[in-house]
Amino acid sequence: MVEAGLKVRVDAAGNLIGRLDGADPNLGPIAIGSHSDTVQGGGRFDGIAGVIAGIAVARVLGQNGGLEHPLEVIDFLAEEPSDFGLSCIGSRGMAGLLDEGMLAMASPDGGLLRDALRQVGGDPEALSSAVRQDLAAFIEMHIEQGPVLEARGLDIGVVSSIVGIRRIEIVFEGVAAHAGTAPMDLRQDAAFAGALALVAVRELAEALASEGPEYFVATVGILEVKPGGSNVVPNLCRLVIDARSSDRTMTDRFEAGINEASHDAAKRARVNRSAFKTLSDGFPASCSEGIREAIRAAAQTLGLSAIDIASGAGHDAAFIAQVCPAGMIFIPCLRGMSHTPDEWSTREQLAAGAAVMLQAVLSIDSTGAYFSSSPGFTQL
């Protein structure tokens, strides 16, 4: 960011922000960017492609006189689920949605999110200073993380909506017993209750997904059984459910259904359901129609094909949409793979996404005539 001529700072929510001043200091900044963290065993494109493209756009603009608006490139802190059980930490903070309960979340080693935030340059005591109400617009470029663009031979996805993500924890507690001597009809098997709940998650999610046209999926991505011996009846089972939908009422219906189903599972397994709680909750977001139109027009100007597409993955843009008009640009990725080292997009696909972002920023700024005959591929 410094090499691109940006003024760099870390805000109280731990976001890395590079700023290019605009000709009119009274205008709100146009923000672009994404996140640089990845999941364990993840790839090289999820998130970071949008940050690098943002820096490239800022460099080009700085070399050509800048904008009327200030431009900010943002690398949001911890977009992926963290050790504290919370995702989108930086963008939550920027939207004013990082609360005291979240700051008190603990990692497996007992560390608190509040302290970890300080360690990366944030300030949990001054989070209000990170809340932005001055942004004019936000655009995030990201790999699709799905197969649609590649399968249809399309260059650009114009994101219409971003799912809301709710993570729910269920804990069952039973009684440990010898696997050989405890009769089946007398067991208090916590893993049995967990298995029943897992099946209920799948069946209810399938039923909701089949209703259409709204998007709904649910996954049990964490399943812990203790004490974990092959010859011991488990006395504890913990599940973490990831439920995603473009319609919040569907997520509410799902949670109510799983609440009832897990009660029934505990009763059938003769165990105690000791916890049923929401770990995190993100609202679904609709992308700004004005920004979507700017992205479509940019793709057309550059001779690139584009399609409207909903995002089944969560993104920082969903939280920033709470404070300013926001939109997203998807580029294709190989076989739709993501969260894997096999993640891949080509130089040409990355350049196309960055060029569309540049043109869209110029359109929003409305002072980019000097780029009208030069799309930006060469400069980028």
Identify whether the C-beta of residue 122 lies closer than 8 Å to the C-beta of residue 115.
no
What is the pLDDT at residue 372? 35
What is the pLDDT at residue 114? 97
What is the pLDDT at residue 328? 98
Structure token digits, residue 303: 């001779």
Condensed to tens digits (0 to 9), the pLDDT of residues 317-374 reads 999 999 999 999 999 999 999 999 999 999 999 999 999 999 999 999 984 333 333 3
pTM of the model: 0.83
Question: b or e along 144-165 (b: 16 or more beta carbons within 10 Å of the residue's beta carbon)?
Answer: bbbeebbeeebbbbbbbbbbbb
Identify whether the C-beta of residue 47 lies closer than 8 Å to the C-beta of residue 143.
no
Positions of the chain with pLDDT under 50: 367-380
* Nearest residue to 329 (alpha-carbon basis) of 369, 287, 266, 365: 287
* Nearest residue to 323 (alpha-carbon basis) of 66, 86, 98, 147: 98
What is the pLDDT at residue 341? 95
CA distances from 361 to 139, 247, 327, 367 (A): 8, 29, 11, 10
What is the set of domains in the chain, with CATH numbers? 7-161+285-371 (3.40.630.10), 164-281 (3.30.70.360)
CA distances from 208 to 7, 90, 194, 203, 214 (A): 47, 31, 21, 9, 9
Identify whether the C-beta of residue 340 lies closer than 8 Å to the C-beta of residue 45.
no
What is the pLDDT at residue 169? 97
